[in-house]
Structure 1
Amino acid sequence: MDRSGGRSDDSISRRGLLKAGGAALLVPALASPALSQGQSDVIRIGHLTPRTGFLGPLGEFAQQAAQLAVEEINAAGGIDGRKVELLAEDSVNPQTASAKAERMIQRDRVACLIGEINSASALAISQVAQRNQILFVNTGANSDALRGADCKRFMFHVEAQNTMMVRACGRALLDKGLIKDKKVYALTADYAFGHDLLKQAKKFFAANGATVAGEDLIPTELTDFSPFLLKVRQARPDVVICNLAGAQITNFLKQYSEFGLPFPVAGFGFDLALAWGAGPGNFLGTWPIVWHPLIESPSAQKFVAAFKAKYKRPPENQAWGDYTATKIVAQSMNTLKSTDSMKVVEYLEGGAKFDIYKSREGYFRAWDHELMQEMYAITALPADKIKNPYDIYTSTGPMPGPNESLEVLATTRDENACTFPS
C-alpha cells in the first residue's frame, strides 16, 4: 500500500518535484537497453524504496522480496540466459529518488526500475522513467493521481489504488453494519497519501449513508495520539476510521488499546507488517489488504515457504508487491526475448495475464496501467484465538468475487481519467 509523502493537495505537485530534480533533467536521455545490444552479460534491475524513516520497515520487506525473486529468476536461467542483478537503493524522499533513478539509468544502464512506497517519490521516479523511456513498475504507492492526472506511459502499478482499498474494506464494513446511517470519526495522515485517501473515503461515506462526525489531520512525525483520542472519546462515533500510514498506524493501535476506547476501528490503507508491529492484543479492527500470507493458492504458499526459509518470517503485502513485479518483468522479457522497455510496455498493454499468487490471474488495464486483481479485508482476531505472532487476523474471501469482473473495485475512466503523454 502507499504510504505516500508530498504536498497536502489532492493531486501530487509536479512543480516542486521537477524543481527538486532539475539537475537530473540536464542529463541526456538514452535509449532502452535490449538483449540484442550485447553490451553486458548481466541484466540490471534498479530497485528503489524507502529503507529508513517511518516507511523503512515496509521497505525492508520490499527489498528482501525483490532479492528473493531475482535469485529464483537466476536459478531458472535468468532472462534469456543472462544473469539478473538487483541494484537496491534507499529512495529516502522524492528528490533523492529522482536523482538515484537517473543515476541507475544513465550510469548503471538498468533495464527497468521497480519499487517505491511513497507516492511523491513514485511520481518523481516516473518522470525520470518517462523521459528516458525506461519501464517503471510501482509496487507500493496508492495515490489515484498516479493512475489519473499524473499517469505515465512507462509506469505500471502492481499496488492497488486508494479507491480499490476503500471499496474493498468498505464492502466488509457494510457487511458488519458499520457504515450505513453511522457516525464516523476520521484520523488522517497530513500529506498527499492521507489527503487522497480521505477524499476517496468521503465519497464512499456519502454514497453509503455515513456521516463524518469529526476529523483530524495527523502530522507524520507525531508519536503521541492522546489529544486526538480524547477528542474521539468525546465525539462517541460509531466507528473510528484510521487513514494513517506506516509506523503511525502501529503507534495509534497501541495507544488506542491503552485508552480502552469501545468504538470499533477500521482503516482504508494498511500493511500487514503494521499489525505485526502492534502485536497480538493491540491489533484491532478491519482493514483492506492487497495480499496476505494465508492465501491458499499453491503459488502463494510456495512464495511464503521460500520467503520464510530465507528470512525466518512470513512475507507481507509489500513483500508480495516487489516479488510479483520482479517476476512479471522477468517473465515479460523472457517471452519477448528483449529488455526493450517500449516492447514490454506494449506487451503489458496487450492484456498479458500473470500468476500473481492469488486464486485468479491478474492483468494490467491498457488505459491506466493498473493491475486488475483480487483484494481482501482482514479483521483482527480476539486474543484467545491467536496462536502465533503472525496469524493474528481473519480474512474475507477475495474481492471481487469469482463471478465478478476484476475491474469492479477500480476507478472508471469517468472517475479518474488518464491521458498518457505523447
Structure 2
Amino acid sequence: MSMTRRGILAASALGLAAPSISYGQSDVIRLGHLTPRTGFLGPLGEYAVQAATLAGEEINAAGGINGKRLEILFEDSVNPQTGSAKAERFVQRDRVAAIVGEINSATALAIAQVVTRERVLFINTGANSDTLRGSDCQRFMFHVEGQNSMYVKTVGRALVAGGLVRGKKSYALTADYAFGHDLLRVARRFLTENGGTISGEDLIPTDLTDFSPFLLKIRQARPDLVVANLAGAQITNFLKQYSEFGLQFPVAGFGFDTALAWGAGQGNFLGTWPVMWHHLIQAPSAQTFVRAFTAKYNRPPENQAWGDYLAVKLMARAMTETRGTDGIKIVEYFEGEGRVDILKGREGYFRKRDHQLMQEAYAITALPAREVRNRWDIFRSGPAVPGPDEPLDAIAATAEENACTFR
C-alpha cells in the first residue's frame, strides 16, 4: 500500500521510516547547529553534532519536513562573541529556519539575543543556567536542556535521603564562568534550605587541568561532602585526580554529562550525580535511539546527544504541525504545552511561562569497581524524578525562585 502525503508527514514528525523522496535544490529547510567543538566543552560538542546528524538523516529518510529535505549547517561556537556572529550569519546569509544547540550558558544568551531580533527560533540543548529561563529569558528561546534548579533538586533528593545534607559541611569546587556561578547559587540555596552549609569553596578556571592544589585543601578541610559544580573536561580531570589522591570523602555533582565520566577511564567514576537522560532508560523510544546511535557511531549516546537529537526532532515536528517555518507560529505551537515523547517514561512539554521543557530527571550513582562490566555501564540509576504521582514541574524553579518576563 502506498503511503499518503499525510502519512509521510506523520512519519517525518516522529522519525519513522517512509518512502524516500527526490528533492530539488529549492525544496530545502535549513537548520543552523551551533555548539563548542573545541576547548573544555569539546567532548560534549562531538556527541551533539553526531546526534543532530543522526536526527537529520532519520527525518529525511522519513520524507523530510512537509516534503522538503532538512539540511543542517554545523559550526563551532567557540565563545559568546563567535557564537553571536555565527548565529547572525546563519540567519542573514544562510537563511536558516531555526538554530539548535549550544552548551555554554553565556554563548546561549548571545545566540538568543540574535534570534530574538531576527524572530527565528532557538532550542538550547546544553546550557543550564537558571538565568536563561529567568532574568535573561527570551521569547524565541526554548530549553530542552534542564535548568540548574532541576539538576540540583534531583540529586539533592538523593543526598538528603542519604543523610549528606542536614547538619553536614560541604566543600564546593565551581567552574569559573556563568554556568558555574549560577549553579553555585542554586546549590547553596538548596543546601541551606535543607539544613546544610558550604564551609569551603574554590572557583576553578575553565582551562585548569591540575586539581592537586584544590584536592590538598579538601584533604585538610575534611568535609562531609565534596560538591562538584564543574563542567566539561573539568569533571573528567577532577574524577581522575580525586581517585589518584585516594580521598574518601563522599562526592556529588550538581551538574553532569555521562561522557565526562566515560572519559575519566574505568574505575575512576565515583559519587552521585544528576542527569536529564541516560542510555539505560528502558522506554521503547529511548532504546530505539540508543540502538541507532550505537550502530552509527560504535558507542552509546549520552545526555548531550539526547538533547540535540530531541531538539532536531521536536523542531521538525513543530514545522510539520504548523505547516511552515514561521518563527512566531512555532513559538505559539510550543507554548501550547502539548505533550510529546521525549525518549523517557513520561511525555514532556515546554512550560509556557519560561519555555523550559518539563521532564523527568535521574540521580545516578557510580557502581563499585567490582560490578563494572564494560566502559559504558558504570552507574546505577535511581527512579525517575519527579515520581509518578508528582507533577513534572516539581523539580523546576518556581516563579518566585526564577521569574521570567519575555522580551
Do the structures match in fold with TM over 0.5?
Answer: yes
> Which of 355, 364, 367 does residue 353 from structure 2 map onto?
367
> Which of 201, 211, 227 does residue 225 from structure 1 map onto?
211
Question: 1:332: Cα distance to partner?
Answer: 1.1
Question: 1:250: Cα distance to partner?
Answer: 0.5
> Aligned ranges for residues 129-140 of structure 1 at < 5 Å?
129-140=115-126
| Structure 1 position 283 matched with structure 2 position 269 | yes
The one-letter amino acid of 1:371's match is: L
The one-letter amino acid of 1:282's match is: N
Tell me which residue corresponds to 1:358. 344
The one-letter amino acid of 1:66's match is: A
Mapped partners of 1:211, 1:364: distance in 2: 33
> Aligned ranges for residues 203-222 of structure 1 at < 5 Å?
203-222=189-208
Tell me which residue corresponds to 2:102. 116
Mapped partners of 1:251, 1:415: distance in 2: 32
The one-letter amino acid of 1:396's match is: G
Tell me which residue corresponds to 1:127. 113
The one-letter amino acid of 2:83's match is: A
| Structure 1 position 159 matched with structure 2 position 174 | no
Tell me which residue corresponds to 1:22. none
Mapped partners of 1:370, 1:385: distance in 2: 36
> Aligned ranges for residues 44-63 of structure 1 at < 5 Å?
44-63=30-49
The one-letter amino acid of 2:227's match is: I
Percentage identity across paired residues of the two chains: 70
| Structure 1 position 197 matched with structure 2 position 197 | no
Mapped partners of 1:131, 1:243: distance in 2: 33
> Which of 221, 236, 247 does residue 235 from structure 1 map onto?
221
Structure 1 counterpart SS, 2:354: coil
Question: 1:82: Cα distance to partner?
Answer: 0.5
Mapped partners of 2:25, 2:286: distance in 1: 36
Question: 1:251: Cα distance to partner?
Answer: 0.4
Question: 1:352: Cα distance to partner?
Answer: 1.6
Corresponding pairs, count = 384
| Structure 1 position 398 matched with structure 2 position 384 | yes
Question: How does the TM-score come out when normalised to structure 1?
Answer: 0.90
Question: 1:217: Cα distance to partner?
Answer: 1.0
Question: 1:40: Cα distance to partner?
Answer: 2.5
> Aligned ranges for residues 170-189 of structure 1 at < 5 Å?
170-189=156-175
Question: 1:141: Cα distance to partner?
Answer: 0.3
Structure 1 counterpart SS, 2:174: strand
| Structure 1 position 316 matched with structure 2 position 310 | no
Question: 1:80: Cα distance to partner?
Answer: 0.5
Structure 1 counterpart SS, 2:395: coil
| Structure 1 position 88 matched with structure 2 position 74 | yes
Question: 1:39: Cα distance to partner?
Answer: 9.4
Give RMSD over aligned pairs.
Answer: 1.0
> Which of 51, 56, 59 does residue 70 from structure 1 map onto?
56
Question: Which runs of structure 1 show a deviation greater than 6 angstroms over 4 or more consecutive aligned residues?
Answer: none
> Aligned ranges for residues 143-154 of structure 1 at < 5 Å?
143-154=129-140
Mapped partners of 1:180, 1:242: distance in 2: 18
| Structure 1 position 303 matched with structure 2 position 289 | yes
- CA displacement, residues 224-268 of structure 1 (integer Å, 9 cap, x when unaligned): 111111111111111100111100111011110011011011110
Tell me which residue corresponds to 1:20. none
- CA displacement, residues 296-315 of structure 1 (integer Å, 9 cap, x when unaligned): 00000000000001000000
Tell me which residue corresponds to 2:247. 261
Question: How does the TM-score come out when normalised to structure 2?
Answer: 0.93
Task: List runs of 5+ in structure 2 lacking aligned partners.
Answer: 1-23
Mapped partners of 2:204, 2:324: distance in 1: 46
Tell me which residue corresponds to 1:30. none
Mapped partners of 1:347, 1:193: distance in 2: 29
Mapped partners of 1:268, 1:246: distance in 2: 13
Mapped partners of 1:374, 1:40: distance in 2: 40
Structure 1 counterpart SS, 2:228: strand
Structure 1 counterpart SS, 2:71: strand
The answer to which of 216-225 and 374-383 deviates more is: 216-225
The one-letter amino acid of 2:401's match is: E
The one-letter amino acid of 1:303's match is: F
Question: 1:361: Cα distance to partner?
Answer: 0.5
Question: 1:191: Cα distance to partner?
Answer: 1.3
> Which of 168, 180, 194 does residue 154 from structure 2 map onto?
168
Mapped partners of 1:85, 1:195: distance in 2: 36
Mapped partners of 1:343, 1:192: distance in 2: 31
